[in-house]
Copies of this chain bind each other. A is one copy, B any other.
């Protein structure tokens, strides 16, 4: 729609993912986009409303991609899981950047109320979806879980968020990829289980 508004959202999201919402300022965004501070307020009246807009755009984009995968009959539960990992694998190549939801979750107590609600809904949706992939995978006999789908979905989600957080503090750049490999081991496909037997 509006090019400027989108560029503001882009710059804002980038800043949240690298430094957090508190550290993100209108001035930073203005410098990045190439406009003046009050012009941002013209598009997004308050910082809280800008934050909400960033979350909603992210969530809607993600939800649309999920929908596309789940509606494709050619895709297995394993494919869906790999798709779930893909954003994190992408983040693996951009050091010092975390998932948007993880960055915001870390600031929940100091976030404006409207944003808190938005973050909670997003994270809950994120967890529910992963649980559903696992549950359906077991039901179809495509996945072999080491634990219950609910428990394992929590472990995987938390591990991914945690590793994005922690890797910024370690020199070990491949840690995120290793974690994803470890997560794959916790969710074995039937074929690889048969190989082990």
- B-binding residues in A (CB < 8 A): 18-20, 22-23, 96, 98, 101-103, 105-110, 119-120, 123-124, 127, 146-147, 151-152, 154-155, 157-163, 165-166, 168-170, 175, 178-179, 181-183, 185-186
Contacting residues, chain B, for A146 (C-beta < 8 A): 146, 185-186
How many Å lie between the Cα of A101 and that of B178 in the bound state? Answer: 21
Q: Is the CB of A168 within 8 A of B110?
A: no
Q: Are A158 and B157 in contact (CB under 8 A)?
A: no
Task: Give the contacting residue for A152; candidates B19, B20, B175, B182; CB below 8 A.
Answer: B182
Contact assessment for A165 and B165 in the assembled complex, using a CB-CB cutoff below 8 Å: yes
A169 touches which one: B124, B151, B154, B169 (CB < 8 A)? B124
Stoichiometry, as copies per complex, reads 2
Q: What are the 5 closest A-B residue pairs judged by CB atoms, nearest first?
A: A162-B162, A158-B162, A106-B106, A161-B162, A158-B163
Residue on B nearest A175 in the bound complex, by CB: B154
Residues from chain B with a CB closer than 8 A to the CB of A154 are 163, 175, 178-179, 182
A35 to B157, CA, bound (A): 43
* Interface contact A147-B182, CB-CB below 8 Å: yes
Name the residue of chain B whose CB is nearest to the CB of A170.
Answer: B124
Select A108's contact among B96, B109, B183, beta carbons within 8 Å: B96
